[in-house]
Structure 1
Amino acid sequence: MPPAEPAAVAAGARETAALDASQRAVVGARRGPGAVVLGAPGTGKTRTVIELVAAAILDDGLPPESVLVLTPSRRSATVLRDRLALRLAHGDESAAPVLPGPLARSIASYAHAIVTADARLTGQPDPRLLSGADQDADLAELLAGHALDGTGPRWPDHLGPEVRALGAFRTELRDAIARVSEHGWTTDRLRSEGRAHDQPAWAALADLVDEYRVVLGGARADQVDPAELVRAAIGLVRDPAPGAPAAPRLVVLDDAHDATPSGFELLAALAARGATVIALGDPDVATNTFRGAEPDAVARLGVLLEAGIPTLVLGTAHRQGPALRALTAGLSARIGTAAAGAQRRAVPGRAADPLDADDALVRTEGALLAVAAPSPARERSLVADLLRERHLLDGVPWSAMAVVVRTGAQVPLLARALAAAEVPVRTTAAGRPLREHPAARALIRFVDVGTGRSPLDADAAAELLLSPLGGLDRIGLRRLRRALRGEELAGEGDRGADELLVEALAAPDRLETIDHRTARRAARVARTLARIRTAHEAGATVDELLWTAWDEARLAAEWAQTSAGSGIVAAEADRALDAVVAVFTAATTIVDTVPEATVETFLARVLDSDVADDLLQPVRTEESVLITTPASAAGLEVDVVVVAGLTEGVWPNLRVRGTLLGAPLLSRVARDLPVADLDERRLVLDDELRMFVLAASRARRQLIVTATAGEDEQPSALWEHVSQAAGEPAVGSARRGRPRSLRRLVGQLRRILTDPASNETARAEAAVALRRLADEGVAGAGPDEWWGVLEPSTTAPLFLDDEHVTLSPSKLEAIETSPLDWFLDRIAPEETSAVMGIGTIVHGAMETLDDPDVDAVWAAIEARWAELVFESPWLAEQQRRLARRYAEGVAAYLRDAALEGRARVAAEERFSVLVDRARLSGSVDRIERSDDGGVRIIDLKTGRPVTDAGATGNAQLGAYQLAYADGAFDELLDPIGPHHAEGARLLFVREGVRGKPYREARQPVLDEEGLEAFRLRLRQAVAAVAVAELSGPRTVGRFDFAARRHRLHRVPPITGER
């Protein structure tokens, strides 16, 4: 061994001297038989690994190639590799030594290197790691084939075809296959254990594994899944081939608590070859149990190595002060010991340090803070406020803060909320399947539809047009449908909007006759599909087809410019660009690694798989807050940690995992652990506690926990535990409520400036502050952007004094409720929805039919169904079922009317009546006449029913009765014979009563007094709207649906109302 340079030895000695006594003991263990090292969070395990490796290379002179550092994950290996290189260069990146290979690797990466070296020795192709997405696609195809031809394993009844078609079943299937490989079981052993432990699914699993391995060997001969790869590497280390690389002399495993059984077997094989093995970990922060990691394996390593290696304990927690360390230790004590426990006695290294007393943040709010919000949305807003407070008031850098949530699905939602509140964020949670990101899915779907793999139907056309690459919103799509339908009707055609939309995207020239931007955008989509179709027929590769779609979209420059800004729009653009890059990376990877793969192969992989691709997510290092999950937070250390979402049922989530195939039970059986009377919920709770301990222990100065406390949600026991430990913060509540973003600050200053209750000093200060913000270009700060201070466009009344005011029976009550909202609906009516369109179609069916047969009514409704546009298939199906109910109600009413001797005289009959200045104008749904001349007016409703009491003052019915009394329908009725009024009724066909599928609400015949009272309502309505200033309600009912739909809400500080 060559001697180390004296300068390097001196530098290494200085670094080692900075370690505490327990850490130095671990560094010294490199010269012994090895060691198992237990250390609580913050005791410096990774720092000790770095110094241990530095001492071995710089002090002992070990060649770098004989030193190997392993971690369970690729992410942690990447970070550790960079830190080791910097340490060996004594902090100078330019002086980093040239190494023959990476010092730190994931276990899977090292196993891959071993198997690759052996393959090259024997002249075999290099093995390629089978990704989770590829494995999922293979299993999905295999199971689908079984379902199609009725072959395959005999699964238990509770795992029928419907269950096996679910993505969740494949997830458990991949987990179970990995456990079988991890423990080195043969399929015969799996069948035998299944019989012994009453697990019939294991026999079926064994049959599937046998078939899967045959399929994998034929279709992917050079690909191997991670568990099999490590298992192969173990065999090669135990029995190396001539010429195989020498085993390392020193092997260090960091984060050993997250290693799987096969990883520990690989360590044992290396130890048997003479390597000194040192493993560091803490069972209390294991987060990889769902992948087969066994928290107690760290403490059992000595037995596995069959060597009397010592167990060392790191005794000082350097990261956290007394309060945080007490919380971490207290929660750790609630977890099962996992054959360890001594590490929990670590004492805070800052116990006698005055740092906490000098820390303004800790002094003001405490090291622990528990806060709750009334809803999940408010909780996310609260997290944003807390982060901005610490940055603005306490000077904590954005990069020194992190938010931890339990699952990766919570990360994007929180990231958008924080970006909207002007908090810069980055995320490192595990990736999602590419198809779940809108931009990525759009790019892939254009190729999917353009190549003909998926048909261009109405749903696909709408999806492409509404996608980020299509550029339309739902209003634009509705306008395009109407324009196409209008042209069809003008040409005397009868095709529906769906068929026309598909035709338009199949033929780019079809849209040239519509001069509107929505049609031009749709034409671009059609051109893109045509270009993809042509390129595919010419044999283009998948990356070329993707580029065609991306190039035609012309979004690169726009998204790049937007992403350079700040806020939620910039963050979304940034994520969209990342997603597009990930799609091209995935396409390039499959083209490079599987040359024979077709476009269809790629599309099936990314669109049909529920597994995230194994692409490394972009790592952003700019000044921003990290949002992550416990599994991705390993190794993190920041000043402030916010653990969000500690709501009952969310965290902890005590749902027992692996119940379909029993993968956790398989692991216990493989280790000869007792399985009788197993408390599975206790094991799940331990895992949940481990995740929380890991998250909470990332904080140096302050830990904040948040939860939702509303009518339906309550904080969990974890939040309660921290809340009790935190007590009441000294000033915490006083800091809440102040604006922490420019948008909120502008709003508060404007309220102060316009509030009559503000004193002159406050107003003057607000005006000065707004002027300064306006000068800096802050949106909303300048008076030229305040609509409330602009002069009215006109002060003339809405109607002239000698002008008649046209009133609609259906809008009269709207005037009486809010003239202002009536006016807004009159000048800017809301878009007609599909639900409203159903009502129109049902009215049309009743207008044209007297046949009480329900099939006839339904046929009339179905004939016009294509005119409706729904936002999703499930909504279309829901409304279709509801429309069928309407048809039954209409048919039953028509039948009863005929039995009672009432005949339809008119439908949708127009009328107009003058009452002073009021012109009452409208149409009646249905006028009926009985044999004795009684005239009844019917108004059809598809909404929720009202009672007779609710119909008594109904304005529509009153208007119809007034029209009848004033002779508006005499020309229609007189030729038939004498007639008299029988009142008016609301006919509800949504819900029935007394065994009938419809119900009626009656308004009695209005006598002269009643008619005059209604005329007074008309005069009052005219007086309310024939003015220059329209009024509206000052309060909005919280549970009043109609009130919540007010188009304009009154804000007292602006309107001056009290």
Structure 2
Amino acid sequence: MTRPAAGARRYRLDRSATPAGWAEPARLDDTQRAVVEHPGGPLLVLAGPGTGKTTTLVEAVAHRVEAGLDLGSILVLTFGRRAARELSERITARVGAAVGGTVAWTFHAWCYAVLREFPRPGDPPPRLLTGPERFTRLRDLIEGSREIGRPRWPASLRVCLRTRGFAEEVEALLSRARAVGLDPAGLAELAVRAGRPDWAALAEFYTDYLDTLGFEGAVDYPELGHRAVALVRDPELGHAPRARYRAVFVDEYQDVDPAQERLLAALAAGGADVVAFGDPDQSIYAFRGARVRGLLDFPTRFRRADGSPADVRALGVCRRMTPSVLAASRQVASRLPMSGLPVAALRAHRALVSAEPDQAGQVEALSFPSEGAETEAIADLLRREHLTGGVPWHRMAVLTRSAEALPPVARALTAAGVPVDMAGDEPPLAARPAAALLLTALRCADDPASLTAADTRALLLSPLGGADPAGLRALGRALREHARAAEEPATVQEPATVQEPAAVEEPAAVEPAAAGSPEPDAAGSPEPDTEDARAARGLASSAELIRAALADPASIPDGVDAELARPVTEVGALLRAASRRSGGAPVDALWALWEGTGWPARLRRAAASGYGATRRAAEADLDAVVALFDAVGRLGERRGPGGGARGLIADLTSQDFAADSRAGAEVRPDAVRLLTAHRAKGLEWDVVVVRGVQDGAWPDLRAQHSLLGAEQLDAPERGGLRPPETSRDRWAEERRLFYVAVTRARRRLVVTAVDTAGEEGVTGENGSRRGEFLTELGVRVTDGSTWTPRPLNLASLVATLRRLAVEPTASPALRRATHRRLAALAAAADHGDRPLVPAAHPDRWWGARELTSSEVPVVPADEPIRLSGSSLSSLRDCSLRWFLEHEAHAGRPATSAQSFGRVVHALADEVTSGRTPATLAALDARLDTVWRQVAFEAQWRSDQERAAARDALARFLDWHAAERGRVLVGSEQRFSVDLTVDGRPVRLRGSIDRLELDAAGHVHVIDFKTGRAAVAPRDLAEHVQLGTYQLAIREGAVDPGSFPDRRQGTGDRGGERLERPGDAPPEAPARAEPAAPPEAAQAAWPAGRGDRPAVPGGAELVHLRRDADGDRTGPREPGEPAGPPQIQRQEALPAGRSWVDELLGQAVRTITTETFAPTPGPSCDYCSFRRSCPAWPAEGGQVVD
């Protein structure tokens, strides 16, 4: 891409073409010569597929020039800019003239040019709206009509006025009305005759729309044709354009709409000969207003000077298709209706002969049992044609009936190694990744206050910033540490008075769906470090800190690593450079963003020398950037010098679909074209696959009705209303579309269908039957269900060779040959010395490598090993899983079940600490305020879990009010205690939901569970989490100096007796003798208490989602009260060394020796890593070969 000179405002890719030279006269057959030498007057040329229509048109123009007619008096009209450019180049090359203007035009381009050349006195030249701009105007006017109440829409339409679909319906009806020649008054009159109040409202809306365009000096595409017809018909203004042309050649006449027919008739009335090339069998654009009847009526509409019908000639030699493909196309054509034209001409048109009767070709009709089998066979067919037949990818195509069928086919072919160039509806320019990135950067440069955390992440991770997610996380941590060290909030916030549920951390789950007691993991800090917890402490989140750094890179603390901060400083400098230019033309700021990094050079390299998806992505990004600069240039012309970046961005982001770009790509990649049959018209390939020819898909005989009935409008001279479409009409339209598809093939035609019908021909559930068209090719339909060839791709080849290289039964000679081939593949490289088949090199075979060990220990010897109850549980169950979750941080994100647990734990703590009244009504109201923080995939699931949360809190209140002969001494009690285990320092950390003290001075641990499953009785005695809490209490994690007075009926805050007044304390359950506290811990406890240190008295699991009898885990019926929760008790740790001490020692040895081995067990059922675990080879074992 090159930067234009100042003020030029044009951007283009450097794809200069050599100027066309002189061209020799083409060799014509007799039918072509008859057309070229036609003496004059109107002429209809029936040109079938591949009959040399374009060549004949070029030679006919050259013949008239050679006969003395000035080239400037010849007008050539066609459809599509590419076709117009090709015709212009061929005509100028053929006549050998240096033409100062355009020879061939699209209809719209000529209409726009003539309106600008011959404006009405006092009128400025019209400004043409693009398709997206027109659609935006319509949506704005519809929204405005709702506000002012004009027009008065029928009640049946008011509910849909704001929808995109209604705007599309209005656009289609107004376009149709203009095409058939209806103005607002004509539409209003037709509304009265047809009894259509919606058309009456649309007629009034139509007037407002045209007035708006007139006020803006704008014109849309449908209006172009209408105004051009009015101009040419004007007795005074139209004289010059009518007199200018003596001959008008029209390509693809079967595609003209009524407005274009009227334009041609107006030119013919001025004395111009109209020569039309068309094919009634390829009339497939009825949905755009084109009518096959228009072509059939040509001879009578464009009469000779003596009043006789126009001549009709047919081209009779096909130069595209081989005899076999041509014969198949004749079979389809023979079933198309013949009417309205001379019989001899139609017969000559249908009876095409091949220009090369001895050329080999192939036609196949295949049926498959499923769409997957169909696509797999198509992929294999294309690969074999390319690899064994030598057919370039770009000379093959797959055609479908509808655009909806394209994406899944594209994905399947790409996965099979077939490069795909899919032609479909482009997304809006602002939605294409490269353009969206530049527009985001432009907005942030023009308006720095609009920079959000999401913008920051997108910019830094984009090609402009070059950061990676891990680097951003590290930068966020570094900025947080500096924010903490500054001892002042990075963002001014009120300290949270209530700990939000999301701030409570969840341990690694011991139960599949349980949300257990909040504990930090082994690598975390003693304080919660979630985004919500940081916000509660008045600290900004990592995302907000990075956003602030990007907004002002100078604010980055000196201690932050420069390499971590590099993406922020570079993108910040880029935005500031663009900001300095944003005061002028937005395009200058946009150019600064584009050229300010190495991204353009990387894209150019990837597009020029990349492979596969990398190259295609680079080409797509370059196309998007070219289209963006083209659109910005056009909008700048229309908006004038005062238009700023903000207005430009608003214009582009408001567009709902892609505009037609002047910078459209002319160089297509070497890939298989994948497109609909409608888009394939006018194109051809060596190999064509027509896919999905089954009942219900192709032919699609469903009636095509729209909400507003645009398809019912017709020209006023034909009564204004079209008769309803019949089944016969639909069959003919679908067969013509199928005919267009099969005639795109030169050498090989393959037509496929899905056929799941049984032996009786009855289709099963969700089944399909092959369509009738599959049997119209004149060849036998072959069952493709047995199509199971070996994949022809490098991945399959390398896999086969690697398997043979270690196959025990393979002969030495076969192994040596395999090794030679693998070595050759591994050595293959491109001109940049990059390996073409890296998977063939043994260095890429993971199983061939020795196991490695890190030079850096998991925990340095001089640092404590940080463990929690969940860590110990995870290490006991599977040390490999512990390492992947706690050290590699590869675990799954938090689930809604864990969020459920956080909410219930937080609200229980609010009640325990006295911040929320201990009533269900208060908790229910509080639950409403925090439930929005819990994300669910569906609303019904959220409602179900909301009811379950209410029941869990009701059970908690029942348990909270019950007497247990103990006093409350702590809630959400965090602890950290340092131990020495096997000579290594260990820091045991965690958070206990609730601590209670009994009359004997023993501390009881309460752990709330919100999972649906209870712990198996056999596992309760050695429940790791409860045992870890008791061990921590025994080792001094709880300070008894903070306990309330334990005398009956007294206590500090939160230390009330939990007995009900008048009740006798229950008999204490039998338990083992509590362990004596260590002397070191006793010495550290505050003096003056007169009591011995805290001693663990046991632990309990309180299951808030389970009734006491364990039968109920789900929400209750409305009005049904929740009972007490199920409680499971673990007895106090015995005196001396216990099972927890043994487990702790084993965990320390595992971490110290770094022997993280997989351990199959029940926890595997909900392990995130099962599919890649060597303990489960059937699901994803270790690579060994």
Q: TM-score, normalised by structure 1?
A: 0.79
TM-aligned CA distance change 1:541 to 1:649, over 3 Å: farther
The structure carrying a bigger helix percent of its residues is 1
What letter matches 1:35 in structure 2? L
Match of 2:140 in 1: 141
User: 1:103-161 CA distances to partner (integer Å, 9 max, x unpaired)?
Assistant: 32211122223323323x958644343221222232233334444x4343222234336
CA 1:808–1:151: 2 relative to 1, 3 Å: same
2:246 is the alignment partner of 1:201? no
Q: In structure 1, which of residues 72, 75, 78 is the aligned counterpart of residue 79 of structure 2?
A: 72
Question: What corresponds to 2:954 in structure 1?
Answer: 892
**Gaps spanning 5+ residues in structure 2: where?**
1-20, 490-537, 757-763, 829-834, 1047-1056, 1058-1064, 1071-1097, 1107-1112, 1133-1137
Compare 473-482 and 250-259 and name the one that shifted more: 473-482
1:151 and 1:655 map into 2 onto residues whose CA distance is 36
Give yes or no for contact 2:892–2:1168 (8 Å, CA) kept in 1: no
From 756, 766, 769, the counterpart of 2:818? 766
SS of equivalent residue, structure 1 residue 737: coil
Give the structure 2 partner of residue 833 of structure 1: 893
Secondary structure of the structure 2 residue equivalent to 1:546 = helix
Matches within 5 A, 1:768-917: 768-776=820-828, 777=835, 778-793=837-852, 810=870, 820-830=880-890, 833=893, 835=895, 838=899, 841-842=902-903, 845-846=906-907, 848-850=909-911, 851=916, 888=950, 890-898=952-960, 907=972
The structural deviation recorded for 1:646 is 6.7
Post-superposition offset of 1:743: 3.9
Q: Is the deviation greater in 712-721 or in 1020-1029?
A: 1020-1029
Cα deviation per residue 1:265-288 (whole Å; 9 max; x = unaligned)? 112222222222232333443443
Instruction: Determine which of 79, 82, 88 is the counterpart of 1:81.
Output: 88
RMSD between aligned alpha carbons? 5.5
* Residue of structure 2 in register with 1:404 after alignment: 399
- 1:313-336 Cα offsets, whole Å, 9 max, x none, are 555555334654465456667777
Cross-structure match for 2:350: 346
8 A contact 2:872–2:1024 mirrored in 1: no
1:751 aligns with 2:758: no
Listed one character per residue, the Cα deviations across residues 39-92 of structure 1 (whole Å, up to 9, x for unaligned) are 54344444443443344444x444323333221332332333334445x26xxx
What do residues 417-469 of structure 1 show as CA deviations (whole Å, max 9, x unaligned)? Answer: 76776655556655442112110011122223433399334444444445443
Q: Deviations over 1:386-425 (max 9, x none)?
A: 4332111111123322233556687788778767766555
> Is this contact kept in 2: 1:824–1:1047, CA < 8 A?
no
Aligned residues: 1004
1:951/1:1003 contact within 8 Å kept: no
In the other structure, the counterpart of 2:255 is: 258
Bigger mean CA offset, 274-283 vs 990-999: 990-999
Identity %: 27
Task: Report the Cα offset of residue 228 of structure 1.
Answer: 1.8
Instruction: State which drifts further: 452-461 or 282-291.
Output: 452-461
Residue identity opposite 2:688 in structure 1: V
Q: For 1:987 and 1:568, how far apart are their aligned partners in 2?
A: 52
CA gap of 1:106–1:746, structure 2 versus 1, over 3 A, is same
Question: C-alpha deviations, 1:840-874, integer Å up to 9, x for none?
Answer: 743651462224557668869978999x9x9xxx9
> Displacement, 1:612?
1.6
**What residue number does 1:739 align with?**
792
- Give, in whole Å, the separation in 1 of the partners of 2:74 and 2:752: 44
AA at the equivalent of 2:593: A
Q: Does 1:555 align with 2:604?
A: no
Give the whole-Å Cα distance in 2 for the aligned partners of 1:368 and 1:237.
Answer: 51
Is structure 2 residue 173 aligned with structure 1 residue 169?
Answer: no
User: Equivalents in 1 of 2:442, 2:695: separation in Å?
Assistant: 43
What residue number does 2:1084 align with? none
Residue pair 2:884, 2:890 contacting (<8 A) in 1 also: no
Separation of aligned partners in 2, 1:693 and 1:1024: 72
Deviations 1:226-250 (A, max 9, x none): 2222222223333353544624333
Structure 1 residues 582 and 47: CA distance shift in structure 2, 3 A = same
- Deviates most, 179-188 or 591-600: 591-600
Q: Secondary structure at the match of 2:276?
A: strand
SS of 2:28's equivalent in the other structure is helix
1:648-1047 aligned at under 5 Å gives the runs: 659-667=706-714, 671-672=718-719, 678=725, 690-704=736-750, 717=770, 721=774, 736-740=789-793, 742-756=794-808, 758-776=810-828, 777=835, 778-793=837-852, 810=870, 820-830=880-890, 833=893, 835=895, 838=899, 841-842=902-903, 845-846=906-907, 848-850=909-911, 851=916, 888=950, 890-898=952-960, 907=972, 926=993, 938-941=1007-1010, 946=1012, 958-960=1023-1025, 978=1068, 984=1101, 986-988=1103-1105, 992-995=1115-1118, 1030-1031=1157-1158, 1042=1168, 1046=1172
Would you say the 8 A contact 2:368–2:784 is kept in 1?
no
Q: Does structure 2 retain, via aligned residues, the 8 Å contact 1:938–1:987?
A: no
Which stretch shows the higher mean deviation, 297-306 or 417-426?
417-426
How many angstroms apart in 1 are the aligned matches of 2:780 and 2:888?
A: 54
The one-letter code of the counterpart of 2:743 is S
Answer yes or no: is the 8 Å Cα contact 1:449–1:456 preserved in 2.
yes
Q: Structure 1 unaligned runs (5+)?
A: 1-7, 90-95
**Residue 545 (structure 1) shift:** 1.9
**541-550 or 716-725, which deviates more:** 716-725
Aligned-pair distance for 1:554?
3.7
Measure the CA separation in 2 of the matches of 1:475 and 1:1027: 24
- The answer to whether the 8 Å contact 2:398/2:674 transfers is yes
Give, in whole Å, the separation in 2 of the partners of 1:884 and 1:751.
Answer: 54
Cα deviation, residue 768, structure 1 = 0.9
Contact 1:543–1:588 (CA<8 Å) still a contact in 2?
yes
SS of residue paired to 1:101: coil
Task: Give 3-state SS (helix, strand or coil) of 1:829's partner.
Answer: coil
Mark the CA change 1:487 to 1:579 in structure 2 (over 3 Å): closer, same or farther.
same
The offset of 1:609, in angstroms, is 0.9
Are 1:355 and 2:359 an aligned pair? yes
Helix, strand or coil: the match of 1:298? Answer: helix
Q: What TM-score do the two structures reach when normalised by structure 2?
A: 0.71
Q: Hey, what's the Cα distance between the residues in 2 that align with 1:56 and 1:615?
A: 34
Query: Is contact 2:153–2:201 with CA below 8 Å preserved after alignment?
Result: yes
Q: Which amino acid aligns with 1:891?
A: L
Is the 8 Å Cα contact of residues 92 and 98 (structure 2) preserved in structure 1?
Answer: no
Say which of 23, 38, 43 aligns to 1:35: 43
Classify the secondary structure of the residue corresponding to 1:598. Answer: coil
Could you tell me which of 676, 680, 689 is aligned with 1:633? 680
Q: After TM superposition, give the deviation of residue 206 of structure 1 in Å.
A: 1.6
Name the counterpart of 2:621: 576
**Are 1:116 and 2:82 matched, yes or no?**
no
TM-superposed CA distance for 1:623, in Å, is: 4.6
Q: Which residue matches 1:543?
A: 587
Select 1:16's aligned residue among 9, 20, 28.
28
Q: Is the 8 A contact 2:369 2:754 kept in 1?
A: yes
Is contact 2:180-2:716 (8 Å) kept? no
* 1:385-464 equivalent positions in 2, closer than 5 A: 385-405=380-400, 423=418, 426=421, 429=424, 431-452=426-447, 455-464=450-459
Aligned-residue offset at 1:526: 3.6
